[in-house]
Structure 1
Amino acid sequence: MDIAVLGMGRMGQALARRLLRGGHQVTVWNRTKGAARDIVSVGVVEAPTVTDAVHGVDVVVTMLSDDAAVRAVALGELRSSIGSTTSYADCSTISPTLSDELAERFPDRFVAMPIMGGPAAVVAGHATLLVGGDGDVVDRLSPMISSLSDTVRRYDTASLAITAKLTSNLLLLSGVVGLAESVAVGRCGGLSDDQLRDLLGARALAPGLQNRFDSVLAGSHSGWWTTVLAAKDAGLALGIAHAAEVELPMAAAVRHLYAAAASSGLNDADIAAVTNLYRSAGQAPGRAADSSSTGSSS
């Protein structure tokens, strides 16, 4: 298939690489020029505009950072230039409301396809695709989908696929915060990092947290899921619950913590860097060590 990938962040580049390996013709576009330099060297074509990128392709894929970016591209130049037979798959993590709006604006051609897994998993073909939308459109995209991953979960609507992604994301984000706080407690009580690794790293953690355990210990800045995107995703999860008049106090705290990490200068750091908030005497952010915060519970 001829496929255009719009958005050349880490995940967009990983998608382009995987699609190229699958035998597809891949054209890419990014708002900031030069981001696709590495993948152009392996055979991907970079287009100067969205219109040039999507001209004559079978499928357009967007992988952009948030609602504002997707809305600007999809409902701007893409909508005015997409071909009459071209399908559109959005892989971004956006709000369910916007995803359903895209389904309405691109009738009979749109699916939401958020991805569970990082860039390395995408390139290796080990990611999970959450595909939501019209079955006929999904069937038309099957050559692309099958080349990306064998693990596909289907949903009837775009918003359900997005909700599934945000549900999974919130669980991992909350787990990383919980791990960071557990590490802080252990350090405050005198445990060494080796002792914490022996206690927590091998047995007590779910696989998703095990993958980030050493990064949490190190306060790692390297990675692909930034604290800014984490705060955004937690906020989107909160929005789903609030629309149903359900309060999520822990999710609100998680969003606050990642936003605090981002504003502390860690905006481009991986979510594991949230542990850096606890490195000053092991205190929770924004709280002084006083009698009200050190008392035991009954």
Structure 2
Amino acid sequence: MIDTDTDTDTPGVTMDVAVLGMGRMGRAIAGRLVRGGHRVAVWNRTPGKAASLVSAGAWEAPGAADAATNAAVVITMLSDDDAVRDVAFGALLPAIGDRTTYVDCSTVSPELSAELAAAFPGHFLAMPVVGSPAAVEGGTAVLLSGGDAAVAKRIGPVVASLSDTVRRYDTAQMAIAAKLATNMLLLSEVVALAESFAVGRSGGLRDDQLRSLLRSSPVVPAGLQNRFEDVLTGTQEGWWATALGAKDAGLALDVARKAGIELPAAGAVRQRYEEAASEGLRGADIAAVTQLYHATR
């Protein structure tokens, strides 16, 4: 089930929130909540990444359990299944009380989300985020909320502070599937754009001509327009690393395979990001996959 306008009816209420994971997305979430008036504790495995948040009013906890102990809402935004499992079944399981809601915003496997829902019955939501850190900071990201509607309602003030656009799903696994479907599309589009540029260059077109031809073309969707210049120029800055792109493509492939469906194009896309990661671009944005098409120029 999908509801695009839910659980945001109490925007003025202040809550105690812990945000665990201070990558760019985690910092964006925490910063948005601080600006929304919430009392925010932050934690990262490697200290020192939350200085700007502390200056803005957040509290940096020495450990994940310390951050979660007095929180009404605990949010994890971590890199992969292993990182989430380590924190959730380590520090959080004994620390989360009866009045605490645990929200995982990470992109993980549906199987792990099901484990978390079983481990934290009546207290867990999957809520992966569609959008960049800048979109989170601006309140325009889309939240994919999966789990019990009553649990989702309890965190209405937090959701209201993060975004006006929420899509509700009956289970955590469905929310994760929605995130993986979205990610797979963008990952494929970035590779397709890089290959389009490669075709044009191979035929003698200059970059300014490619820009003029495709920058505002209706065949380039809005989400891809955000990375157009980065793919054209090979910029390696950004927020979604090639290694994480390969990970997400692998998760999408696993979901389809378990349903008896093969995705050959998705397999090729994952391989491109794996190659980019192995060739020194592991921490670069997914747009850097375009570097793979410059070797023979």
Match of 2:78 in 1: 64
Q: Does 1:181 align with 2:182?
A: no
Match of 2:114 in 1: 100
Asked if 2 retains the 8 angstrom alpha-carbon contact of 1:188 and 1:281, the reply is no
Match of 2:167 in 1: 153
**Code of the aligned partner of 2:242:** T
- Count of residue correspondences: 282
SS at match of 1:41: helix
SS at match of 2:107: coil
Match of 2:284 in 1: 269
Ranges in structure 2 where 5+ consecutive residues have no aligned partner: 1-14
CA distance in 2, matches of 1:31, 1:139: 30
Deviation of the 1:150 alpha carbon: 0.4
**Code of the aligned partner of 1:254:** V
Greater displacement, 62-71 / 34-43: 34-43
Which has the larger Rg? 1
**Code of the aligned partner of 1:242:** R
Deviation of the 1:40 alpha carbon: 1.1
Larger relative contact order (Cα-Cα within 8 Å, sequence gap ≥ 6):
2
Question: Where does 1:110-189 land on structure 2 (aligned, <5 Å)?
Answer: 110-189=124-203
**Code of the aligned partner of 1:202:** S
Question: Where does 1:22-41 land on structure 2 (aligned, <5 Å)?
Answer: 22-41=36-55
SS at match of 1:131: strand
SS at match of 2:57: coil
Deviation of the 1:260 alpha carbon: 0.4
CA distance in 1, matches of 2:269, 2:207: 24
Deviation of the 1:41 alpha carbon: 1.4
**Code of the aligned partner of 1:150:** D
CA distance in 2, matches of 1:221, 1:166: 23
SS at match of 1:27: strand
Asked if 2 retains the 8 angstrom alpha-carbon contact of 1:131 and 1:154, the reply is yes
CA distance in 1, matches of 2:73, 2:107: 19
Identity %, equivalent residues: 62
Match of 2:250 in 1: 235
Deviation of the 1:84 alpha carbon: 2.1
Q: Does 1:2 align with 2:10?
A: no
Ranges in structure 1 where 5+ consecutive residues have no aligned partner: 283-298
CA distance in 2, matches of 1:271, 1:234: 12
SS at match of 1:104: helix
CA distance in 2, matches of 1:171, 1:19: 29
Match of 2:235 in 1: 220
**Code of the aligned partner of 2:30:** A
**Code of the aligned partner of 1:30:** N
Structure 1 stretches of 4+ with a deviation exceeding 4 A read none
